Amino acid sequence: MNIEIRYHSKTGHMQKMAEAVSSVLGVEAKTLDKPLSNDVDVLLLGSAVYAAGIDGKVKDFIASLDPAQVKNVICFSSCAILESSYAQVKKLLETRGIHVDTREFHCRGQFTMLHRGHPNDTDIANLKAFVQELHLN
């Protein structure tokens, strides 16, 4: 099974989360500026919400994906106010004809004083458990 991890991080939170996913799967987590070079059975996509929307870099990455190349996307995210970025990412991916798994991981992210310290050690442990329960490796 070919698995890829891509993420976008402005604050370092999503990088921390992507590295946790990487540690479970043994697959290198890469930023969105690294295009997919092979067909992918599962793409784990990390994104966050900034000012109530996903970043333009995430939108551009999704727009660049070849639907014939990506079989399934599993989302992981953090944000301070919204429940998750899942709905926004899912809509963009499905518009491109790319399947989005119903399983997703989300935790709170820090924004100024709100949810200070998140994602924390418990959030990362929960993310690792989520990835293990996917049974991808």
pLDDT tens, residue by residue, 8-44:
988 788 899 999 999 999 999 999 999 998 999 999 9
Residues 40/62, Cβ–Cβ less than 8 Å: no
- Which 8-state DSSP code applies to residue 12? S
Asked if the model's pLDDT at residue 5 lies above 80, the reply is yes
pLDDT for position 106: 87
pLDDT for position 94: 96
Burial class (CB in 10 A: 0-12, 13-18, 19+), 51: exposed
Give pTM, 2 decimals: 0.89
Asked if the model's pLDDT at residue 77 lies above 80, the reply is yes
Structure confidence at residue 83 as a pLDDT band (50, 70, 90): low
pLDDT tens, residue by residue, 87-125:
899 999 999 999 999 999 988 665 555 556 668 899 999
Asked if the model's pLDDT at residue 80 lies above 80, the reply is no
How do strand 42-50 and strand 3-7 relate by DSSP bridges? parallel
pLDDT for position 91: 95
- Please give the sequence-ordered ranges of beta strands (E in DSSP) within 36-122, or none if there are none: 42-50, 53-54, 73-79, 100-108
Number of domains comprising the chain: 1
| CATH number of the domain encompassing residue 77 | 3.40.50.360
Q: Which range of residues forms the domain containing residue 108? A: 3-133
Tokens coding 40: 């992918």
